[in-house]
């Protein structure tokens, strides 16, 4: 199996229970471990947890239901983030699930802190401090971890409209903390009333850092899952659907995955200034490669086209850096499939020092390529082709002895 890519379709919106239900519908094999993680944090005496078959507008899917055994008088818990953090840290959750659970809650704490003007450590959770939200977030963290290394994307999130009741009284939709979490995310308004994205749902999406565009070739559609919310929406199902794609390696031995792609053109920046800007971009840890090539722009102007490869979850950050470092007025970005051959570098003795040779495991066999800088520096009076060929042959023989 190659790299996974998971795409979210929030037709009805996103809430913690909808995300968990959709992921469990798509990945039923993860249910036992997910519920085991939940029970490390929330005992059976505190809440009943059930994954139910459900229908909405004639469609089938799942609904994740949490029933608190001892609800508070007001129906909402009042828990300080510092105390909740200590509770989670004491549970012995698997390291990855622990890290994601705390990260999602940290997003919530920072959003609440901005809304109320207090440090995150002093935030007191109300609705999201309840047991059902704790269960949703732990389960979501377990499922994200179970999905493994993969790319994530999401369609624009529905804003909803109207008002919602909270412990602070009646508030506009989206709720204040939700709007903080939605900053920078594409949204849509379909005219339907009510809360469509909950704070918990927004925090989960914020943690995923998805691209808001499905890759042009996401791969083979392997699994789908549908999670239903608790409300009924007029004229459409209140559902979140996940699509799980798998990119297959074309040949054995190839590494399949995803990579971010950022492209733009610039025609009004001097070559010297653009070279400095691209060097700065190239040094950023989330940038994998930068190439520049000449193109003819409007009015016959000679322009520079630039293409950057980035980590899949860093395309928006790299795009912002490009707009800051260069004079381009616009750019394009996407997450695309990538195939690469396994490679490594070995050292061999040259005629006047050590040389580095790059070894590539191609489907048709192993190839070797000596580093050009080493050839140029070491060749001296020797012919460069001979030095290069000698180094590459030594590297291949070395691999035969010690693969």
Residue 382 above 70 pLDDT?
no
pLDDT digits (tens, 9 = 90+) for 175-194: 888 999 998 889 999 889 88
pLDDT digits (tens, 9 = 90+) for 148-170: 878 899 999 999 888 877 766 78
Compute the distance between CA of residue 21 and CA of residue 23 in angstroms, rounded to an integer: 6
Q: Are 371 and 348 in contact (CB under 8 A)?
A: no
Phi then psi dihedrals of residue 282, to 5 deg: -65, -30
Residue 119 above 90 pLDDT?
no
pLDDT digits (tens, 9 = 90+) for 334-373: 888 777 778 888 888 776 678 888 888 777 678 888 888 7
Tokens encoding 31: 């249910």
Q: What pLDDT, on the 0 to 100 scale, is given for residue 251?
A: 42
Compute the distance between CA of residue 364 and CA of residue 338 in angstroms, rounded to an integer: 19
Position 200 in a domain: yes
Q: What pLDDT, on the 0 to 100 scale, is given for residue 200?
A: 95
Q: What pLDDT, on the 0 to 100 scale, is given for residue 252?
A: 45
DSSP letters along 42-61, please? S-TTTEEEEEEEEEETTEEE
pLDDT digits (tens, 9 = 90+) for 42-91: 998 889 999 999 999 999 999 999 998 765 544 455 788 888 999 999 99
Q: What pLDDT, on the 0 to 100 scale, is given for residue 18?
A: 97
Same structural domain, 37 and 172: yes
Position 372 in a domain: yes
Of 246, 272, 295, which closes a domain?
Answer: 246
* Residue with tokens 């179970």, as numbered in its chain: 146
State the pLDDT confidence band at 128, using cuts at 50, 70 and 90. low
Compute the distance between CA of residue 45 and CA of residue 43 in angstroms, rounded to an integer: 5
Residue 383 above 80 pLDDT?
no
> Which residue range forms the structural domain that includes residue 314?
256-340
Same structural domain, 356 and 389: yes
Angle between helices 16-26 and 31-41 (to 10 degrees): 150
Q: Are 81 and 120 in contact (CB under 8 A)?
A: yes
Of 25 and 337, which is predicted with more confidence?
25
The distance from CA 213 to its chain's CA centroid, rounded to whole angstroms, is 12
Average pLDDT value over all residues in the chain: 86
Same structural domain, 165 and 287: no
86 burial type by CB count under 10 A (0-12 exposed, 13-18 middle, 19+ buried): exposed
Position 251 in a domain: no
Q: What is the mean pLDDT of residues 302-306?
A: 92
Q: What is the mean pLDDT of residues 305-332?
A: 92
Reported in sequence order, the residue ranges of 82-197 that DSSP labels E, i.e. its strands, are 124-125, 150-154, 157-158, 160-161, 163-166, 169-172, 187-188, 194-195
Same structural domain, 380 and 295: no
Compute the distance between CA of residue 244 and CA of residue 254 in angstroms, rounded to an integer: 21
Same structural domain, 193 and 304: no
Q: How far is CA 184 from CA 9, 90, 162, 267, 323, in A?
A: 18, 34, 22, 28, 16
Same structural domain, 235 and 284: no
Residue 135 above 50 pLDDT?
yes
Q: What pLDDT, on the 0 to 100 scale, is given for residue 264?
A: 94
Of 246, 277, 295, which closes a domain?
Answer: 246
Element spanning 218, H or E:
none
Q: Which of 80-84, 218-222, 224-228, 364-368 has the lowest mean pLDDT?
A: 364-368
Same structural domain, 292 and 216: no
What predicted TM-score, i.e. pTM, was given to this entire model?
Answer: 0.66
Compute the distance between CA of residue 217 and CA of residue 82 in angstroms, rounded to an integer: 43
Residue 144 above 90 pLDDT?
yes
Tokens encoding 299: 């009015």
How is residue 207 annotated by DSSP? Answer: H
3-class secondary-structure state, position 255: strand
Same structural domain, 207 and 73: yes
Q: How many domains are there within the chain?
A: 3
Which residues, 6 or more positions from 256, have their beta carbon under 8 angstroms from its beta carbon? 2, 3, 247, 248, 249, 337, 338, 339
Residue 285 above 80 pLDDT?
yes
Q: Are 240 and 10 in contact (CB under 8 A)?
A: yes
Same structural domain, 95 and 144: yes
State the pLDDT confidence band at 137, using cuts at 50, 70 and 90. very high
Same structural domain, 292 and 379: no
Q: What pLDDT, on the 0 to 100 scale, is given for residue 254?
A: 61
As beta bridge partners, residue 64 has 51
Q: What pLDDT, on the 0 to 100 scale, is given for residue 248?
A: 63
Position 185 in a domain: yes
CATH number of residue 331's parent domain: 3.30.70.1380
């Amino acid at each position: 199996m190659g790299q996974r890519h998971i795409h979210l379709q929030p037709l009805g919106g996103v809430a913690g229970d909808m995300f968990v239900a959709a992921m469990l519908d798509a990945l039923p094999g993860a249910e036992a471990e997910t519920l085991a993680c939940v029970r490390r944090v929330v005992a059976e005496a505190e809440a009943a947890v059930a994954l139910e078959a459900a229908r909405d507008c004639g469609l089938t899917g799942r609904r994740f239901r949490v029933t608190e055994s001892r609800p508070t008088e007001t129906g909402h818990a009042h828990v300080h983030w510092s105390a909740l953090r200590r509770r989670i840290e004491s549970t012995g959750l698997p390291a990855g699930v622990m890290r994601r659970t705390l990260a999602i809650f940290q997003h919530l704490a920072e959003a609440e802190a901005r809304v109320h003007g207090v440090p995150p450590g002093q935030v007191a959770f109300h609705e999201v401090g309840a047991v059902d939200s704790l269960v949703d977030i732990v389960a979501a963290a377990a499922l994200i971890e179970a999905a493994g290394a993969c790319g994530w994307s999401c369609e624009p999130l529905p804003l909803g409209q109207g008002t919602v009741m909270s412990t602070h009284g009646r508030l506009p939709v989206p709720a204040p903390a939700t709007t903080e979490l939605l900053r920078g995310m594409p949204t849509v308004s379909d005219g339907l009333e009510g809360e469509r994205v909950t704070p918990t749902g927004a925090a989960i999406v914020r943690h995923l850092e998805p691209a808001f565009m499905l890759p042009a070739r996401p791969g083979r559609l392997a699994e789908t899952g549908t999670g239903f919310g608790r409300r009924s929406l007029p004229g459409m199902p209140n559902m979140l659907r996940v699509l799980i794609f798998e990119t297959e390696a074309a040949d054995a031995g190839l590494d399949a995955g995803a990579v971010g792609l950022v492209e733009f053109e610039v025609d009004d920046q001097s070559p010297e200034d653009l070279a400095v800007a691209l060097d700065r971009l190239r040094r950023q840890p989330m940038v994998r490669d930068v190439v520049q090539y000449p193109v003819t722009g409007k009015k016959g102007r000679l322009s520079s086209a630039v293409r950057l490869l980035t980590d899949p979850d860093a395309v928006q950050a790299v795009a912002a850096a490009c707009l800051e470092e260069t004079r381009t007025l616009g750019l394009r970005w996407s997450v695309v499939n990538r195939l690469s051959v396994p490679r490594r570098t070995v050292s061999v003795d040259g005629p006047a020092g050590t040389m580095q040779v790059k070894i590539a495991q191609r489907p048709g066999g192993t190839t070797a390529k000596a580093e050009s800088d080493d050839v140029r520096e070491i060749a001296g009076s020797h012919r460069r082709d001979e030095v290069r060929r000698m180094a590459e042959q030594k590297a291949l023989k070395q691999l035969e002895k010690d693969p």
